[in-house]
Structure 1
Amino acid sequence: MKRSFISLALIATSQLFAAPEPRLLINASSEAALKPGSPAVIELKYIDKNETGEEVVLKDIKTVMGKTMHFVVVKSDLSSFAHFHPFFDPMTGIFQAPIHLPTSHPDNQDATRAFPEAGEYLIYSEVKSISKGILIHALDQKTAGEPVFHEIHPDIPHADGTYVHYLNEKGEKAEVGSRYRTEVTISQTAGEGGDLFNFEFLLKEKTDTGYAEVESLQPWLMMGGHAILLSRTGETAKDRVFAHEHSGRPEKGGRLHFSYFARGGMATDIYRMWMQFKHKGKVLTLPLTFAYPLQ
């Protein structure tokens, strides 16, 4: 079955893994070794060709959901995830982000743990060019050191189909009784040319008597929440199912809704979705792992 590559809510002008060509530098070098957890500077630029065939750097970048770039780094075994936003210099056309360094920027906290251990990583960059439209590129990056592999397994839903997880105040997965309780249900609807998957998310906070739905979630990056979906199978980043989906802003309460349309149907595989949302000034991330066909 052919895989689907869908992102940014199926924007029609998207160019998936197409020209212009992205060029990634580590500490200003294309050959520098990336050491897990060590401070470094990532640079990315897009190389295009002008009317005479000369290489030029693409500079006509616009913001998408409040950022000039969305940069996603996931370990190839899906065990680690980072979503951050390199800074753009319109004079040079270069995007730049320090990694593995402390930051007070609330939208770039994930950059502190972009490449936590040795292994292979999948990188997805998303930008909007005035002349080219939405550009989504997939890159592969290895780190120095002996690779570490983690086997992931699907989460087991409750009898009613609800996936329940707990997060601590730092937004890390934790034991029953921790500060937050998340509940997610997944439904599938067959459609013309593919299947629509709906993810219903609910956030509850611990109270004196149990857990209660939070009063409100804060908008994050101009949306109610963001979600990244990736498949486990695929030799390279381009071979994976990748989607960046969004939820509208909730007027109140802790409910979010994410949708994903799988063109041609969903391939049998294990998938992980990272749902990101903001509560009381902090961006939290819930990793949900599920198998398809759904249990």
Structure 2
Amino acid sequence: MMKTKPRTIFIAAALVTVLLLAGCGTGGKQTAADHGGQAEPTTGGGHAGHDSHASGGSSESSAALQAEWKLSKEKPAAGETAQVTVQIRDADGKPVEKFDVNHEKLMHLIVVSKDLSHFAHLHPDYRQNGLFQADVPFPTDGEYKLIADFIPAGGTARTETHWVAAGSGAGSPSALQPDASLVKTVDGKEVALTFDKLKAGQETTMTFTIKDAQSKAPITNLQPYLGAVGHVVVISGDAEQYLHNHPLDESAKGPNAAFATTFPKAGLYKIWGQFQHEGRVFTVPFTINVP
């Protein structure tokens, strides 16, 4: 009994941690927004509250859930688009039939290259019987990580991941370096990123301040993107840690959009903020070093 009790406490504490991290309300088809800030049209919608979802390693799912990944081509060529299907099954191998709408979608599919130079946020079509399908572009040789983010009906947020080698699978990865300045110009917008504090393991508020790049006038008419003023995806430099954050005030319209997050460990992270203005979604990337 003396040996069992500490183990029980540890398991309970770990379960509470997973439940807290899995608060994201983050799983229709949408054009990719790459690291250069490609725009896309979208419509807004309602969502209450703020939340974030985190995962590390290969998956946050339990043994009670299975994901089967298939590509139309086993190894897509560089510059090619491949059809990707994700089949979600329960522990008995039966298809999971129902999913909760999660920021206006049933599934969010994040695609990043291993060096994090490429980023896409897609929304697969649901084909029923637990089957999701999306066309995924692989712009260059190299390895890509696919992250499926969804909520089984009545359950908690889940992530399932899969690596894909495109072309030779080797590519020419660029070394990830922290940005010298956390001010970027994308799609005619000047976006500055600030933190109230920055330390691994501690909750921080990161704030995006958005202005017109030419006039420097604050932008105060941001439009909802997937039911919120913005969305943020954070991935660690080794592509193992994944955070999907939603704003503290989802009804904000700018110039500030604030998000609460916790970086799980020290090191490099790449951050992609996504916002909508005048009917176009823009994506702004930042690379930071978390002490």
Shorter-chain TM-score bucket reads: 0.7 to 0.9
Structure 1: stretches of 5+ with no match in the other structure: 101-114, 158-162, 170-178
Q: Distance in 2 between matches of 1:141 and 1:185?
A: 34
Q: Are 2:192 and 1:148 aligned? A: no
Q: Distance in 2 between matches of 1:134 and 1:249?
A: 19
Q: Are 2:144 and 1:135 aligned? A: no
Q: Distance in 2 between matches of 1:42 and 1:11?
A: 23
TM-superposed CA distance for 1:140, in Å, is 1.6
Post-superposition Cα deviations, 1:27-73, rounded to whole Å, max 9, x if no partner, equal: 1x6xx2222321321111112233xxxx2111121210110000001
Q: CA RMSD in A?
A: 2.4
Partner of residue 204, structure 1: 211
Partner of residue 183, structure 2: 164
TM-superposed CA distance for 1:11, in Å, is 6.4
TM-superposed CA distance for 1:131, in Å, is 5.2
How do 1:87-106 residues align onto structure 2 when only pairs under 5 Å count?
87-90=125-128, 92-100=129-137
What SS class does the counterpart of residue 80 from structure 2 fall into?
A: coil
Q: Distance in 2 between matches of 1:223 and 1:251?
A: 8
What SS class does the counterpart of residue 196 from structure 2 fall into?
A: strand
Q: Distance in 1 between matches of 2:62 and 2:160?
A: 7
Q: Distance in 1 between matches of 2:209 and 2:279?
A: 18
Q: Distance in 1 between matches of 2:53 and 2:191?
A: 29
Partner of residue 110, structure 1: none
Q: Distance in 2 between matches of 1:165 and 1:188?
A: 20
Letter in 1 for 2:210: L
What SS class does the counterpart of residue 39 from structure 1 fall into?
A: strand
User: Do the aligned partners of 1:77 and 1:151 also contact (CA within 8 Å) in 2?
Assistant: yes
Post-superposition Cα deviations, 1:8-42, rounded to whole Å, max 9, x if no partner, equal: 23569xx8133311111111x6xx22223213211
Change in CA separation of 1:17 and 1:147 when aligned onto 2, cut-off 3 Å: farther
TM-superposed CA distance for 1:252, in Å, is 3.5
Letter in 2 for 1:98: D
Greater alpha carbon shift after TM alignment, 248-257 vs 278-287: 248-257
Partner of residue 66, structure 2: 21
TM-superposed CA distance for 1:133, in Å, is 3.0
What SS class does the counterpart of residue 260 from structure 1 fall into?
A: strand
Letter in 1 for 2:147: Y
TM-superposed CA distance for 1:201, in Å, is 0.6
TM-superposed CA distance for 1:132, in Å, is 4.1
Q: Are 2:232 and 1:227 aligned? A: yes
Q: Which has the higher strand share?
A: 1
Q: Distance in 2 between matches of 1:183 and 1:131?
A: 38
TM-superposed CA distance for 1:206, in Å, is 3.6
What SS class does the counterpart of residue 133 from structure 1 fall into?
A: coil
Partner of residue 254, structure 1: 255
Partner of residue 184, structure 1: 193
Letter in 1 for 2:152: S
Change in CA separation of 1:139 and 1:18 when aligned onto 2, cut-off 3 Å: farther
User: Do the aligned partners of 1:17 and 1:138 also contact (CA within 8 Å) in 2?
Assistant: no
Letter in 2 for 1:147: G
Post-superposition Cα deviations, 1:56-102, rounded to whole Å, max 9, x if no partner, equal: 11112121011000000111111110111001022x321011234xx
TM-superposed CA distance for 1:250, in Å, is 4.0
Letter in 1 for 2:279: G
User: Do the aligned partners of 1:217 and 1:250 also contact (CA within 8 Å) in 2?
Assistant: no
Letter in 2 for 1:253: G
Post-superposition Cα deviations, 1:223-269, rounded to whole Å, max 9, x if no partner, equal: 11110111113xxx5xx12100011334443210111124xxx4231
| TM-score between both structures, scaled by the size of structure 2 | 0.75
Partner of residue 285, structure 1: 283
What SS class does the counterpart of residue 156 from structure 1 fall into?
A: coil
Q: Are 2:241 and 1:215 aligned? A: no
User: Do the aligned partners of 2:146 and 2:163 also contact (CA within 8 Å) in 1?
Assistant: yes
User: Do the aligned partners of 1:228 and 1:273 also contact (CA within 8 Å) in 2?
Assistant: yes
Partner of residue 244, structure 1: 244
Q: Are 2:120 and 1:78 aligned? A: no
The alignment-based identity, stated in percent, is: 25
Greater alpha carbon shift after TM alignment, 277-286 vs 242-251: 242-251
Post-superposition Cα deviations, 1:90-132, rounded to whole Å, max 9, x if no partner, equal: 2x321011234xxxxxxxxxxxxxx211111122111111254
Q: Distance in 2 between matches of 1:122 and 1:253?
A: 32
